[in-house]
Chain A
Amino acid sequence: MVAQSDGNAKPVTDFEKFVDILKKCGQDVVIDADLTTIERAQLDAFSCYLHHNLDAILVRFAFALPLQPVLSGEEEEEGGENVGRKNDTEILKDAFMALNTLSTKLGDNKFFCGNKPTSLDALVFGYLAPLLRVPLPNDRLQVQLSACPNLVRFVETVSSIYLPLSEDELKRQQSNRKMWQSRISKAKADKEAAKTTEETAEALPDEPPMRDAILFTIGALALSLVFAIHTGLIQVSVEEEIAE
């Protein structure tokens, strides 16, 4: 996210910083003002929790199969690096746990800190809405999210209050849905096809490259020679010719 704070200032690209600036700019914006310190502390803790458990999944699935045509290859690579250290199962497990934790935390409340919206609500909405609305090839997370009715209700509430859609947009959404459905099924078919080609590819093991073998032989020979000289198996004597 990029927000221009004053025209001459540099862009702000971080949700937390953005909230900070809004708080400081002292206009009519009131965010998180009437929270107790403990609530504010929990807010910080939760925003950190969300970043660490859900960033990976959004990157992973947003940059995965069906969206590929939309996003350039460069972005995809960058995204891939960020989550390279975790595998898919771990990411999913983390995300499942995060959803459960959020669901528990929300309980029957309208917002996370009772009846008033806070910056945490905005952040959670930012994470959950795409998970709920954007069609993904892997729908396990969506299934899991639908299993937490209070989170689904939360997303509906926030979007109906703060991001109401006009009729035109609704219509467009309907027509887009068909396109997405076909895209998903196409992606699934592609995936299947990729799998079968992969399997056939695996059946034919590559021959080890010749260059590696030669390098290995040279290395091994050199090492044994050094060893032999070192232990005295081969003795080298240098005879100097005496100059006249």
Chain B
Amino acid sequence: MNAAQDWEDVSLFTPYLNDQALMYDFAECLAVQTFLRMTSLPFNVRQRPNVDFISPDGVIPLLKINKTLITGFNAIVDFVHKKGVTLTSHLSETQVADMRANISMIEHLLTTVEMYVLWKHDETYEKVTKPRFGSVFHWPLSSVLPFLKRRKILEELADKDWDSKTMDEVGEQADKVFRALSAQLGTQKYLTGELPTEADALLFGHLYTLITVRLPLTNITNILKKYTNLIEFTKRVEQQYFKQ
């Protein structure tokens, strides 16, 4: 990673956000966009059907600066940090530790919940995941690739001991995440007070996705709706960074 390069000709490669990207990918792409907007760094968004093949390690989204490729939310945040642009300079070390824990919770627990819903729940898989994932391929790849991917993701879920969980237990996990974040947000503008951090960007990405996504199963969204300050937070960030 070469952090000494100038910030020019920067493109963010994402899947087709409206037709192709799955819930958690959409959330990550949105989070990176929000983060870059928070730092006021200029960038272009380019939507490509094969980003997961462009990306060296299969992680999306992909940020390209001249010839450097950086993949994934955390790596992009680190890279921007190495450039001397940071959203956490006003925080104490303990607050940064708290923020890291929050990011980890959103990134692992909430993403796993989303994966579970998309790939494990049969109706959602047939009606949403499979058509979206296969949308950029021709037959027969459009049914073979989702099948292979599903097998892989289910294995991953089994590794985490999530394959035996019921939908209610998964809902409880989601509720735990929302409850924790809602409590920390309280009546503040952002998670750590008046100024946004990368944790806010990531939180916004996931919440916005969960609120706007249309799935056959609405239990996760319904759980989220109980936490009004999180909904307000999402609206506020959208207003500030995406409606200008």
Determine whether the beta carbon of B159 is less than 8 Å from that of A45: no
Known: A104-B94, A105-B94, A107-B94. A49 touches B180 (CB 8 A): no
Known: A38-B186, A41-B180, A41-B183. A48 touches B94 (CB 8 A): no
Q: Does chain B have a CB within 8 A of A81?
A: yes
Q: Does chain A have a CB within 8 A of B176?
A: yes
Taking a contact as CB atoms closer than 8 A, the residue among A37, A53, A81 that contacts B159 in the complex is A81
Q: Does chain A have a CB within 8 A of B8?
A: no
Indicate with 1 or 0, residue by residue over B149-192, a CB within 8 angstroms of chain A CB atoms.
Answer: 00000001001000000000000000011011111101000000
Tell me, in angstroms, the Cα distance from A45 to B195 when the chains sit together.
21
Contacts of B100 in A (CB 8 A): 49, 97, 101
Tell me, in angstroms, the Cα distance from A42 to B185 when the chains sit together.
11
Determine whether the beta carbon of B105 is less than 8 Å from that of A44: yes
Tell me, in angstroms, the Cα distance from A105 to B184 when the chains sit together.
16
Tell me, in angstroms, the Cα distance from A150 to B72 when the chains sit together.
33
Known: A41-B179, A44-B176, A81-B159. A101 touches B101 (CB 8 A): yes
Q: Does chain B have a CB within 8 A of A18?
A: no
Determine whether the beta carbon of A48 is less than 8 Å from that of B183: no
Tell me, in angstroms, the Cα distance from A172 to B10 when the chains sit together.
62
Q: Does chain A have a CB within 8 A of B104?
A: yes
Q: Does chain B have a CB within 8 A of A82?
A: yes
Contacts of B46 in A (CB 8 A): none
Known: A38-B186, A49-B105, A105-B98. A44 touches B93 (CB 8 A): no
Chain A residues 62 to 120 lying within 8 A of chain B, measured CB to CB, are: 81-82, 85, 97, 101-102, 104-105, 107
Contacts of A82 in B (CB 8 A): 159
Q: Does chain B have a CB within 8 A of A46?
A: yes
Q: Does chain B have a CB within 8 A of A177?
A: no
Q: Which of A40, A44, A52, A81 has the most CB of B within 10 A?
A: A44
Contacts of B83 in A (CB 8 A): none
Determine whether the beta carbon of B104 is less than 8 Å from that of A48: yes
Determine whether the beta carbon of B94 is less than 8 Å from that of A45: no
Determine whether the beta carbon of B159 is less than 8 Å from that of A44: no
Of chain A, the residue at the smallest CB distance from B109 is A48
Known: A41-B180, A82-B159. A48 touches B93 (CB 8 A): no
Tell me, in angstroms, the Cα distance from A97 to B105 when the chains sit together.
15
Taking a contact as CB atoms closer than 8 A, the residue among B93, B176, B184 that contacts A104 in the complex is B93
Determine whether the beta carbon of B179 is less than 8 Å from that of A104: no
Tell me, in angstroms, the Cα distance from A38 to B193 when the chains sit together.
14
Tell me, in angstroms, the Cα distance from A240 to B102 when the chains sit together.
76
Determine whether the beta carbon of B159 is less than 8 Å from that of A52: no
Determine whether the beta carbon of A41 is less than 8 Å from that of B94: no
Determine whether the beta carbon of A104 is less than 8 Å from that of B96: yes
Determine whether the beta carbon of B104 is less than 8 Å from that of A45: yes
Output the least CB separation between A94 and chain B (Å): 10
Determine whether the beta carbon of A45 is less than 8 Å from that of B180: yes
Output the least CB separation between B163 and chain A (Å): 13
Contacts of B156 in A (CB 8 A): 85
Q: Can you list 18 A-B pairs, Cβ within 8 angstroms, ordered by A?
A: A37-B183, A41-B181, A41-B184, A42-B98, A45-B98, A45-B102, A45-B104, A45-B180, A46-B101, A48-B101, A48-B108, A49-B105, A101-B101, A102-B97, A104-B96, A105-B94, A105-B98, A107-B94
Question: Other CB < 8 Å A-B pairs besides A82-B159, A105-B97, A105-B101, 18 of them?
Answer: A37-B183, A38-B183, A40-B180, A41-B179, A41-B182, A42-B98, A44-B177, A44-B180, A45-B101, A45-B102, A45-B105, A45-B180, A49-B100, A49-B101, A49-B105, A81-B159, A101-B97, A101-B101
Residues of A participating in the B interface, judged by any CB pair closer than 8 Å: 37-38, 40-42, 44-46, 48-49, 51-53, 81-82, 85, 97, 101-102, 104-105, 107
Q: Shortest 7 CB-CB distances between A and B: which pairs? A: A41-B180, A45-B101, A41-B183, A49-B104, A49-B101, A105-B97, A37-B183
